[in-house]
């Protein structure tokens, strides 16, 4: 049988109208109860894997995954992912098991994906599956932290997972949902009951300015400060609990950092903190952050983890760090910092004591 090009062209021209007509009369069954045709299921899975593989080619994979940030990633996983994908000791929700397609048990399939492919899926999600994109597209560091967590998930036992995801929480009553004790318990997952943080990627909240903590919670919830890890708990707590949360952590005793570190690096950081870098238009950090009479919206950096300081300065340099109404001042100040300057400042401030009233301006 011979089909002319003319007839083929006519058929292709008519096809879109046939498809639209079929959709209009309700021919296509969108109900999830009947599942997909086998060919449809194969095609969708094939298309998804192919798309992820192709777009992952553009992902710049770091030399090493940020395993120091696995703990907050575990907390986020427990909050937003485990209900569909399950976790050690936590089976998938019966509701998720009725989804189409069914969310996979990640522990059994993580090895099928490369780091770049996992990054692509976590950051951008997958259409037609219920898999959402990361809450913000400006925090690749958080996405890589989740990839690091996923890499450890297959070999993780229940005790390890529960410690990472929940820690020694402030245990609220069974009926505490939507209450301040529940909000505090959620904060303690990552920040600890003492507010000192449970890892090098988590800031110390104990002894921080109450005004700064309140402003930060508001910025997270209103997306003025990008963070997929913090936007959800801040929003869930709600403005009714923000003042109490800020007051609670501000009243906790601050940590007194010890010495140590590479002397030359710490000395260089001290020099920048006290004098700035004139040739690069970098002002002295202590002019704002080292005074006891500073604005309550200027946070104390002393004693914060070095990894956390490095990450925040990196975000400021990249123009991806918001926060209080003075965030633009830090963005301008950080532009002139080199990678070595950032490491030096992190080394110095992570080992610094409380702010001094006599700091160099």
Gap between the terminal Cα atoms of the chain = 89
CA distances from 321 to 55, 314, 335 (A): 26, 9, 12
Question: Is residue 286 over pLDDT 90?
Answer: yes
Mean pLDDT, residues 209-222 = 95
178: Cβ–Cβ under 8 A, 6 or more apart, which residues? none
CATH superfamily, with its number, for domain 180-250: Cytochrome c-like domain (1.10.760.10)
pLDDT of residue 360: 37
Instruction: Name which of 147, 144, 193 is nearest 166 in CA terms.
Output: 193
Identical fold between 180-250 and 263-350: yes
Mean pLDDT, residues 94-120 = 94
Rounded Cα gap, residues 183 and 186, in angstroms: 5
Determine contact, residues 277/337, Cβ cutoff 8 Å: yes
Mean pLDDT, residues 171-191 = 80
Q: pLDDT tens digits for 47-68? A: 999 999 999 999 999 999 999 9
Instruction: Name which of 118, 101, 102, 194 is nearest 154 in CA terms.
Output: 118
Q: pLDDT tens digits for 227-261? A: 999 999 999 999 999 999 999 999 999 877 766 77
34 pLDDT band, cuts 50/70/90, is confident
Q: Which two tokens stand for residue 130?
A: 């219920």
Q: Is the dihedral of CA 281, 293, 314, 225 positive or negative?
A: negative
175 pLDDT band, cuts 50/70/90, is low
Rounded Cα gap, residues 208 and 179, in angstroms: 23
pLDDT of residue 358: 37
pLDDT of residue 178: 78
Q: What is the DSSP string of 7-39?
A: HHHHHHHHHHHHHHHHHHTT-S---STT---HH
All structural domains of the chain with their residue ranges: 48-165, 180-250, 263-350
Q: What is the DSSP string of 320-359?
A: ----STTHHHHHHHHTT--HHHHHHHHHHHHT--S--TT-
Residue appearing with tokens 């990361």: 134
Determine contact, residues 252/205, Cβ cutoff 8 Å: yes
Residue appearing with tokens 């704002």: 288
Q: How far is CA 258 from the centre of its chain?
A: 29
CATH superfamily, with its number, for domain 263-350: Cytochrome c-like domain (1.10.760.10)
Q: Which fold has domain 48-165?
A: Cytochrome Bc1 Complex; Chain D, domain 2 (1.10.760)
The number of helices, as runs of H, and strands, as runs of E, in the chain is 16, 0
Determine contact, residues 205/188, Cβ cutoff 8 Å: no
pLDDT of residue 359: 37
Q: pLDDT tens digits for 317-359? A: 999 998 888 888 999 999 999 999 999 999 999 998 755 433 3
Question: Is residue 31 over pLDDT 90?
Answer: no
Q: How far is CA 353 from the centre of its chain?
A: 28
Rounded Cα gap, residues 137 and 310, in angstroms: 20
Determine contact, residues 350/259, Cβ cutoff 8 Å: no
Rounded Cα gap, residues 65 and 63, in angstroms: 7
Residue appearing with tokens 């070595």: 340
Longest dimension (CA), the chain: 94
Which DSSP category does 131 fall into? Answer: B
Q: pLDDT tens digits for 137-155? A: 999 999 999 999 999 999 9
């Amino acid at each position: 049988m011979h089909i002319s090009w003319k007839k083929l062209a006519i058929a292709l021209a008519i096809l879109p109208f046939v498809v639209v007509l079929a959709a209009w009369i309700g021919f296509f069954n969108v109900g999830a109860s009947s599942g997909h045709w086998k060919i449809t299921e194969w095609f969708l899975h094939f298309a998804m894997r192919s798309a992820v593989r192709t777009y992952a080619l553009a992902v710049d994979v770091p030399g090493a995954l940020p395993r120091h940030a696995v703990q907050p990633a575990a907390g986020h996983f427990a909050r937003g992912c485990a209900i569909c994908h399950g976790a050690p000791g936590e089976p998938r929700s019966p509701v998720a098991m009725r989804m189409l397609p069914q969310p996979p048990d990640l522990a059994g399939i993580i090895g099928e994906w490369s780091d770049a492919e996992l990054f692509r899926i976590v950051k951008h999600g997958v259409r037609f599956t219920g898999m959402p994109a990361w809450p913000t597209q400006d925090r690749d560091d958080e996405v890589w932290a989740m990839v690091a967590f996923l890499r450890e998930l297959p070999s993780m036992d229940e005790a390890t997972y529960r410690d990472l995801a929940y820690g020694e929480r402030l245990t609220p009553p069974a009926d505490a949902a939507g209450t301040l004790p529940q909000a505090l318990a959620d904060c303690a997952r990552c920040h600890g009951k003492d507010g000192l943080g449970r890892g090098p990627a988590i800031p110390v909240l104990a002894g921080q300015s109450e005004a700064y903590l309140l402003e930060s919670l508001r910025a997270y919830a209103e997306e003025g400060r990008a963070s997929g890890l913090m936007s959800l708990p801040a929003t869930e707590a709600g403005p009714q609990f923000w003042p109490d949360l800020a007051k609670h952590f501000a009243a906790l005793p601050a940590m007194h950092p010890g010495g140590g570190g590479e002397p030359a690096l710490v000395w260089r950081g001290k020099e920048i903190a006290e004098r700035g870098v004139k040739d690069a238009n970098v002002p002295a950090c202590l002019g704002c952050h080292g005074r006891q009479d500073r604005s309550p919206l200027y946070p104390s950096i002393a004693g914060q983890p070095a990894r956390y300081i490095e990450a925040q300065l990196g975000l400021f340099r990249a123009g991806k760090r918001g926060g209080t109404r003075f965030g633009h001042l830090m963005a301008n100040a950080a532009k002139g910092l080199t990678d070595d300057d950032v490491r030096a400042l992190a080394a110095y401030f992570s080992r610094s004591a409380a702010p001094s009233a006599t700091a160099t301006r």
